[in-house]
Amino acid sequence: MRKTSLIVFVWVVLLQTAGCTGPKNLVVLVPDPDGSTGSISVSNEAGKVLIEAPYHLTNIKDRQSVPTPPAAMEKGKVKAIFSMALAAQPEPPVHFLLYMEKGSPNLTADSMAQISRIIDTIRTRNAHSVSVIGHTDTLGDKDTNLKLSAQRADSVSRLLIEKGVDAEKIETTSHGEENPLVKTGDNVSEPRNRRVEVIVR
């Protein structure tokens, strides 16, 4: 199975339990919150079908029947059938990028100004988790950069806690230079890679 949307599975379960008329096993592929669409392979003992286009569906009558070929469904009809599931969807996570001073765990002035926006988002959403992920550019050796990325993540986490965020909700990780925003060669100073990502869920 390739990239799928969790919403697909939720909708199938709700359709089966909400007393809806029509096929009980109806699978519809919908776009992700960012608008992208993956694909899903639907299979049973009789065979399988691959859905790759948004708002396409398949029906599964029973275990002995091959899922029907993908067919388009109007977006409005999808919303009408799955209104309960749509209403129950969690809000998509909010991503923030904070940039750091060169060789330092300190935020740039512009990024420091974003902290209040992050705090407001956490409070408004009543967030249940906040991921704080530290990164570096490729300047210097990997071990040093791994330590620096951890220091950056810890520095941002402390700022959030000082502003009233529950420490239990914060998870910090660090990637060093391994996951650059902008790919570069070794030993390259790149300001956009000197960052901390904050994901509010």
Looking up residue 141, the CATH number of its domain turns out to be 3.30.1330.60
Partners of 95 in the beta sheet? Answer: 199
Q: Are 152 and 174 in contact (CB under 8 A)?
A: yes
Say how many domains are in the chain.
2
Q: What is the pTM of this model?
A: 0.69
Asked if residue 1 is part of any domain, the answer here is no
| pLDDT band, very low/low/confident/very high, at 24 (cuts 50, 70, 90) | low
Residues 16 and 36 placed together within one structural domain of the fold: yes
Residue 21 has pLDDT above 60, yes or no: no
Residues 54 and 146 placed together within one structural domain of the fold: no
Q: Domain range spanning residue 26? A: 6-88
Asked if residue 174 is part of any domain, the answer here is yes
Q: What is the mean pLDDT of residues 10-31?
A: 59
Residues 115 and 176 placed together within one structural domain of the fold: yes
| pLDDT band, very low/low/confident/very high, at 26 (cuts 50, 70, 90) | confident
pLDDT at 141: 97
Tens-digit pLDDT profile for residues 70-109? 999 999 998 888 888 777 777 889 999 999 999 999 999 9
pLDDT at 128: 95
Residues 108 and 76 placed together within one structural domain of the fold: no
Tens-digit pLDDT profile for residues 138-151? 999 999 999 999 99
Q: What is the mean pLDDT of residues 172-195?
A: 97
Residues 121 and 149 placed together within one structural domain of the fold: yes
Phi, psi values for residue 28, rounded to 5° = -120, 130
Residues 101 and 168 placed together within one structural domain of the fold: yes
Instruction: Return the higher-pLDDT residue of 43 and 171.
Output: 171
